[in-house]
Amino acid sequence: MNFDNFPSCANMNNDDNRHSLHLTIVIPCFNEEATLNYTTDALISHLQSLVNSNQTAIDNFSILFVDDGSIDNTWEKICSIASSAKSDIKGIKLSRNVGQQNAIIAGLEHAIEYSDAIITLDADLQDDVNAITEMVEKFQDGCDIVIGIRKNRNSDSFLKKHTANLFYNLMKNTHTPVIPNHAEFRLLSKRAVKHLLEYPERNVFLRGIIPSMGFHSATVYYDRNSRKYGKSKYPLGQMLNFAVEGITSFSIRPIRSIFLIGIISLFLTMSVGIYVLIAILLGRTYPGWASLILSIWFLGSLILVALGIIGEYIGKIYMEVKSRPRYFIESTVNSIKK
Binding region for ligand UDP (CB under 6 A): 28-30, 32, 68, 97, 99-100, 103, 122-124, 126, 232-234
How many other CB atoms sit within 10 Å of the CB of residue 74?
25
How far, in Å, CA of 257 to CA of 48, rounded?
A: 52
Instruction: Please report, as residue ranges, which positions from 1 to 60 form the binding site for Mg ion (by CB under 5 A).
Output: none
Nearest approach, Cβ of 31 to Mg ion (angstroms)? 12
- Whether the Cβ atoms of residue 81 and residue 27 lie closer than 8 Å to each other: no
User: Which of residues 57 and 78 has its CB atom nearest to ligand UDP in the complex?
Assistant: 78
Angle between helices 158-173 and 236-248 (to 10 degrees): 10
User: Which of residues 126 and 251 has its CB atom nearest to ligand UDP in the complex?
Assistant: 126
User: Which of residues 221 and 313 has its CB atom nearest to Mg ion in the complex?
Assistant: 221
User: Which of residues 232 and 332 has its CB atom nearest to Mg ion in the complex?
Assistant: 232
Residue 126 in contact with Mg ion, rule: CB under 5 A? yes
- Whether the Cβ atoms of residue 156 and residue 234 lie closer than 8 Å to each other: no
For Cα atoms 250, 233, 204, give the angle at the middle one, nearest 5 degrees.
Answer: 20
Residue 74 in contact with Mg ion, rule: CB under 5 A? no
User: Would strands 145-150 and 329-334 be described as parallel, antiparallel, or unpaired?
Assistant: unpaired
Partner in contact with 127, chosen from ligand UDP, Mg ion, none, beta carbon below 5 to 8 Å by kind:
none
Of residues 68, 116, 124, 127, which one binds Mg ion by CB under 5 A?
Answer: 124
Which region among 119-127, 195-203, 210-218, 253-261 touches Mg ion (by CB under 5 A)?
A: 119-127
* Burial class for 80, CB neighbours closer than 10 Å (0-12, 13-18, 19+): middle
Q: What is the contact surface with Mg ion in residues (CB under 5 A)?
A: 122, 124, 126
